[in-house]
Chain A
Amino acid sequence: DIQMTQSPSSVSASVGDRVTITCRASQDIGTWLAWYQQKPGKVPKLLIYAASTLQGGVPSRFSGSASGTDFTLTISSLQAEDFATYYCQQGKNIPQTFGQGTKLEIK
């Protein structure tokens, strides 16, 4: 199985900050990567797919990029509603696997 490793596991930030979350794949997955946001008690929400394509309705302050087996999710200017847990997921191989999550907390 392809392992997805996210870092950091948690991060504290303030409204207006720029935040970057990283996800590393254990092998080449091209750009078959998605990012999800999950708030407590809620369902995961697809933010970005194909490493850098924004899902419809997702604010443009979210962006994604890829470099080899490293992927980043960037939030350019944090808003209060962005505090949540973020997951990456590879879609290249079965089983499709998720990172362990990065919890974004208010500083």
Chain B
Amino acid sequence: QVQLQQSGPGLVKPSQTLSLTCAISGDSVSSNSATWNWVRQSPSRGLEWLGRTYYRAKWLEDYTASAIGRIIIQPDTSKNQFSLQLSSVTPEDTAVYYCVRGWNWFDSWGQGTLVTVSS
């Protein structure tokens, strides 16, 4: 049974960097059969996939085009976790953020973190 446990602040100031971490139990961030994703949800944008990291002989990342340049998703193999960094946030980045295991679909979700961007 895979469990994903999210951590990170719920309030970020505009122009600063949003940072969240997802600790994995019951699977490995280095798995060859999964990807490790961040998805966010807001009333205005619905469910939005942000990006993923995964290991296929080397570490790879994919990001949604609208976030390229300000997003980093990276693994931490020593702690079996992965993280999200989203820089230069604005109020439009206010959302519930989920870490998610998947490949073509998403079968295990973290508990969600409401991140509010406000001064």
Chain A interface (Cβ within 8 Å of chain B)?
A: 1, 32, 34, 36, 43-46, 49, 55, 87, 89, 91-92, 94-98, 100-101
Output the least CB separation between A81 and chain B (Å): 19
B64, B105, B111: the one within 8 Å of A43 (CB): B111
Chain B interface (Cβ within 8 Å of chain A)?
A: 46-49, 62, 64-65, 98, 102-107, 109-112
Asked if residues B105 and A49 are in contact (CB atoms below 8 Å), the reply is: yes
Q: How far is the CA of A42 from the CA of B102 in the complex (A)?
A: 18
Asked if residues B62 and A98 are in contact (CB atoms below 8 Å), the reply is: no
Asked if residues A43 and B104 are in contact (CB atoms below 8 Å), the reply is: no
Main secondary structure of the interface of B (DSSP, over half): strand
Total A-B Cβ pairs within 8 A: 49
Output the least CB separation between A71 and chain B (Å): 13
Please list 21 pairs of residues, one from A and one from B, whose beta carbons are closer than 8 Å in the complex, sorted by A's number: A34-B104, A36-B106, A43-B110, A43-B111, A43-B112, A44-B106, A45-B109, A46-B106, A87-B46, A89-B47, A89-B105, A89-B106, A91-B102, A91-B104, A91-B105, A92-B104, A94-B64, A95-B62, A95-B65, A97-B49, A98-B49
Q: Which residues of B contact A45 (CB under 8 A)?
A: 109
Q: Which residue of A lies closest to B108 (CB)?
A: A46
Asked if residues A98 and B107 are in contact (CB atoms below 8 Å), the reply is: no
Asked if residues A87 and B104 are in contact (CB atoms below 8 Å), the reply is: no
A46, A49, A96: the one within 8 Å of B49 (CB): A96
Q: Which residues of B contact A92 (CB under 8 A)?
A: 104
Q: How far is the CA of A56 from the CA of B65 in the complex (A)?
A: 33
